[in-house]
A = this chain, B = another copy of it.
Amino acid sequence: MPQTALTETDAAIRGAGLRVTDTRRGVYDALSALPHARADDVYGRVRAAVPATSMQSVYNALGDFVDAGLARRIEPAGHPGLFELRVNDNHHHLVCSGCGRVEDVDCIAGHAPCLHPPETHGFAVQAAEVTFWGVCPDCAAAA
- A: residues with CB less than 8 A from B are 73-75, 77-78, 81, 92, 94, 96-97, 103, 105-106, 108, 113, 115, 117-137, 140
Contact = CB atoms under 8 A, between A and B. Distances in A.
A128 B131 contact: yes
A130 B132 contact: no
How many copies are assembled?
2
For the complex of A and B, list the 6 residue pairs with the smallest distance between their C-beta atoms, beginning with the closest: A75-B77, A123-B134, A125-B134, A122-B137, A103-B121, A105-B117
Given A74-B77, A105-B117, A130 B129 contact: yes
Contacts of A120: 94, 134
Given A77-B129, A128-B130, 13 more contacts: A73-B77, A75-B77, A97-B126, A105-B119, A121-B136, A122-B136, A122-B137, A123-B137, A124-B140, A125-B134, A126-B133, A128-B131, A128-B132
